[in-house]
Amino acid sequence: MLYREAGQFKTTYAEDMAIFPIRQDRMALAILLGIAFIGVPLLADFDIWPFGSDYLLRAILLPFLILALAAIGVNILVGYCGQISLGSGAFMAIGAYSAYKLGTGVHIPLAWLGFAISIPPLPVLLSILLGGLAAAVVGILFGIPSLRIKGLYLAVATLAAQFFFDWVFLRVPWFTNYAPSGSVSAPTLDFFGLNVGTPIERYMLCLIFVTVFAFLAKNLVRGNLGRQWMAIRDMDIAAELIGIRPLYAKLTAFAVSSFIIGVAGALWAFVYLGSWEPLAFSIERSLQLLFMVIIGGLGSIMGSFIGAAFILILPIMLNLLPTQLGVPLSTETITHLEFIIFGSLICYLLIKEPHGFARLISIGKEKLRLWPFPY
Amino acid sequence: MRMPDASEILLQVEGVSLAFGGVKALRDVSLDIRKGEIRAIIGPNGAGKTSMLNVINGFYHPNRGAITFKGRTRAQMQPFEASRGGIARTFQNVALFKGMSALDNIMAGRTLKMRRGLLWQMLRFGPALAEEIEHRHRVEEIIDFLEIEPIRKVPVARLPYGLQKRVELGRALAMEPDLLLLDEPMAGMNLEEKKDMSRFILDVNDYYGTTIALIEHDMAVVMDLSHRVVVLDHGVKIADGTPDEVKKNQGVIDAYLGIAH
């Protein structure tokens, strides 16, 4: 089947503004969602897995989904609004620890006032969403400097958020419910009486979260608010002149972005890790997410998924490949090789296509429309 | 050419002075813009023309003087307040949003008219979708008006310069301004493009009744287009009047051609 729009006439603006105006794109998405929602559970049912057992699910798909969600959040801030942030790991941590505190019950003794604030443990879904909300509030706070400082200087300011929250969650025992090791465990994952425990259930949970959030994010970025963000990114002076308030546009970007990252953080902690310590949300996580959106494509929701897949899955593949092919290499050599190949691939990609995979795909689509003619 | 209603003054600039350190960009300049007219601001390089526009739309805050727009006098305001009040503008160097399509650029000009909040937009359903479509209709009218239908989905960075200028005009028009400021709308264009742009400027003035203040270096264009011309030189107003009056003014001739010694 050819990728052609010929004959697909649109008679209303609503059709023209649809999320996927081209029929072939819609079909591709339907197939993809079908595989994700039906195909993978079927595989799990019949227990037929590549790589044996549920390795694919636990070690690849689950982290891929959650990090793709976080990458969407980062992409809104960095890709759409043009505010470089190195604090994504911190916002994930805020989401995770807020959800943890709310999920296990909050107790703030105010001894000098003679009473204490106590909130009983909240349902898991609610605590995850409220965790995102907490991240959004902190995101707004750390977004305020962006009104004055730009570019690399803002990156440094968000880096401050990263180190500050690393420190807070490591040193303030209240957040970890005074656990002596500093490591905490997620509450049991009950959703409306349904216990989410097995890998496939966890996968489905994350899949639903990611699908819903990706859809909402896509709606936002192609609406009025998304245009305001991109206007601020591309030319803030002209944006101001057409009536966009930089304060509103930037802070909403920080809020929405941090909310999504916070929810991703809570999922990462609750669903993927199960028990964790602050190290799980270090600066490395921030950089990893930033690389994902840069390589996947700044200013593209789809790019966030591709970037997450590339950064997360390629190293695993590179690691597995020699063993699968039966090449006798020591584990050490494989690890070194993995770094070398991965690093050079990133360099090559950024030189060839600085706008990432998403741009590569859109160029490919444009060519395909005209194929086999050059123009 | 339609003659404007001469009575009503839309914008009044009174005794505005603006200095950057020791450089005096504007010195005690007064001028008025009447409702419905095309008003040109001309002058040699460095005369303070762009500074004047920047003062009018709130980019620069004058050291002295006041500006009355639609009957409200003020000394200071922010650019987004000016846009809210109904002042739109284009730039000398095209200031489009490079990563967005021509359509999105013009849609961005409708920002002030769109009311639905974040949650509605997130769902893009019901009223939010209806609003989006309604504004798309208005934007398509402008696209139609400026004859840029074939390029509406092209990222503006890929468009040639002349079309970029046209999209920028479209974005300003999308705001449905009362006063449109054009900073050298024809800079760097060839004759054909200049003709097109002149036609659009006249049509905008005629069809939408928008008051226009423009800066331009092409004297033939200025004299043909504008109802009244103000001439600045080294930050001082040296002439003000109809194109014919200005053309004969000795001060203007001296400023442009120099004085024989």
Cα gap A368→B73, rounded to integer Å = 58
Phi, psi of A123, deg, nearest 5? -60, 155
Q: Residue A49: what pLDDT?
A: 67
Q: Which of B97, B103, B107, B129 to mutate to test the interface with A (most CBs of A within 10 A)?
A: B97
3-state secondary structure (DSSP) of residue B147: coil
Res. A74: pLDDT tops 80: yes
Please enumerate in sequence order all residues whose Cβ is within 8 A of that of A156, keeping only pairs 6 or more positions apart, or say none. Answer: A86
Q: Residue A33: what pLDDT?
A: 93
* Helices and strands: H and E segment counts in chain B: 10, 10
- What does the pLDDT average to over B166-188? 93
- What does the pLDDT average to over B37-49? 90
Structure tokens at A57: 């699910």
| Interface contact flag, B129 A242, Cβ < 8 Å | no
Res. A144: pLDDT tops 60: yes
B82, B122, B171 member nearest A220 (Cβ):
B122
Which of A50-54, A328-332, B139-143 has the weakest average pLDDT?
A: A50-54
Beta partners for A190?
A: A195
Q: Does any CB of chain B come closer than 8 Å to the CB of residue A133?
A: no
Where helices occur in A47-180 by DSSP H, the ranges are 55, 62-74, 88-104, 124-143, 151-171
Hey, what long-range contacts does A149-155 have (CB within 8 A, 24 or more apart)? A151/A84, A152/A84, A154/A83, A154/A84, A154/A85, A155/A84, A155/A85, A155/A86
Q: Are A276 and A96 within 8 A, CB to CB? A: yes
Work out the number of other CB atoms within 10 angstroms of the CB of residue A101: 24
- What does the pLDDT average to over B119-139? 90
Q: Does any CB of chain B come closer than 8 Å to the CB of residue A212?
A: no
B88, B100, B171 member nearest A230 (Cβ):
B100
- What does the pLDDT average to over B198-208? 93
Q: Residue B3: what pLDDT?
A: 60
Which of A177-181, A222-226, A281-285 has the weakest average pLDDT?
A: A177-181
Q: Which residues of B touch A245 (CB under 8 A)?
A: 80
| Interface contact flag, B133 A14, Cβ < 8 Å | yes
Residue A234, CA distances (Å) to A15, A237, A244, A371, B97 in order: 28, 9, 13, 32, 5
Phi, psi of A101, deg, nearest 5? -65, -45
- What does the pLDDT average to over B160-168? 92
Most confident of A54-63, A234-243, A253-262, B155-164: A253-262
Q: Does any CB of chain B come closer than 8 Å to the CB of residue A375?
A: no
Q: Does any CB of chain B come closer than 8 Å to the CB of residue A129?
A: no
Average pLDDT, chain B: 89
Q: Are A323 and A333 within 8 A, CB to CB? A: no
* Residue A271's pLDDT band (cuts 50, 70, 90): very high
Residue A346 corresponds to which amino acid?
Answer: I
Q: Which of B111, B115, B156, B169 to mutate to test the interface with A (most CBs of A within 10 A)?
A: B111
**What does the DSSP assignment read for A238-296?**
HHHHTT--HHHHHHHHHHHHHHHHHHHHHHIIIIIISEE-GGGGSHHHHHHHHHHHHHH
Q: How far is B144 from chain A (nearest CA, A)?
A: 15
Residue A263, CA distances (Å) to B118, B148, B246 in order: 18, 43, 66
- What does the pLDDT average to over A49-54? 65
Res. A372: pLDDT tops 90: no
Q: Does any CB of chain B come closer than 8 Å to the CB of residue A256?
A: yes
* Residue A164's pLDDT band (cuts 50, 70, 90): very high
B121, B172, B175 member nearest A219 (Cβ):
B121
Res. B2: pLDDT tops 70: no
Which residue, chain included where needed, has tokens 């990893």? A288
Q: Does any CB of chain A come closer than 8 Å to the CB of residue B129?
A: yes
Structure tokens at B50: 């762009």
Look up the pTM and report it.
0.91
B89, B104, B116 member nearest A241 (Cβ):
B89
- What does the pLDDT average to over A347-359? 84
Note the Cα A343 to chain centre separation in Å. Answer: 22
Note the Cα A12 to chain centre separation in Å. Answer: 34
Q: Does any CB of chain A come closer than 8 Å to the CB of residue B118?
A: yes
Percent helix, strand, coil in chain B (nearest 5)? Answer: 40, 25, 35
Q: Which residues of A touch B140 (CB under 8 A)?
A: 13
Q: Does any CB of chain B come closer than 8 Å to the CB of residue A71?
A: no
Q: Which of B77, B100, B153 to mutate to test the interface with A (most CBs of A within 10 A)?
A: B100
Q: How far is A215 from chain B (nearest CA, A)?
A: 8
Q: Residue A77: what pLDDT?
A: 95
Q: Does any CB of chain B come closer than 8 Å to the CB of residue A250?
A: no
- What does the pLDDT average to over A33-45? 87
Work out the number of other CB atoms within 10 angstroms of the CB of residue B14: 15
Among chain A residues, CA nearest to B134: A13
Q: Residue B6: what pLDDT?
A: 57
Q: Residue B259: what pLDDT?
A: 76
Among chain B residues, CA nearest to A224: B111
Q: Does any CB of chain B come closer than 8 Å to the CB of residue A242?
A: yes
* C-alpha closest to that of A308 among A123, A78, A66: A66
Which of A47-56, A153-162, A190-199, A233-242 has the weakest average pLDDT?
A: A47-56
3-state secondary structure (DSSP) of residue A106: strand
Query: What's the Rg (C-alpha) of chain B?
Result: 19
Cα gap B119→B5, rounded to integer Å = 45
Beta partners for B229?
A: B40, B241
| Interface contact flag, B122 A241, Cβ < 8 Å | no
* Residue A51's pLDDT band (cuts 50, 70, 90): low
Please enumerate in sequence order all residues whose Cβ is within 8 A of that of A295, keeping only pairs 6 or more positions apart, or say none. Answer: A306, A307, A310, A311, A346, A349, A350, A356, A357
Cα gap A277→A286, rounded to integer Å = 16
Q: What is the DSSP letter of B186?
A: T
Res. B258: pLDDT tops 90: no
A219, A231, A234 member nearest B124 (Cβ):
A219
ipTM given for this complex: 0.89
pLDDT exceeding 70 applies to what percent of chain B? 96
Cα gap A136→A145, rounded to integer Å = 15
3-state secondary structure (DSSP) of residue B198: helix
Q: Residue A233: what pLDDT?
A: 93
Q: Residue A10: what pLDDT?
A: 82
Q: Which of B90, B96, B124, B139 to mutate to test the interface with A (most CBs of A within 10 A)?
A: B124
* C-alpha closest to that of B146 among B170, B177, B162: B170
Q: Does any CB of chain A come closer than 8 Å to the CB of residue B99?
A: yes
Q: How far is B237 from chain A (nearest CA, A)?
A: 26
Res. A121: pLDDT tops 60: yes
Cα gap B173→B107, rounded to integer Å = 10
Res. B7: pLDDT tops 80: no
Res. A362: pLDDT tops 70: yes
Q: Residue B5: what pLDDT?
A: 57
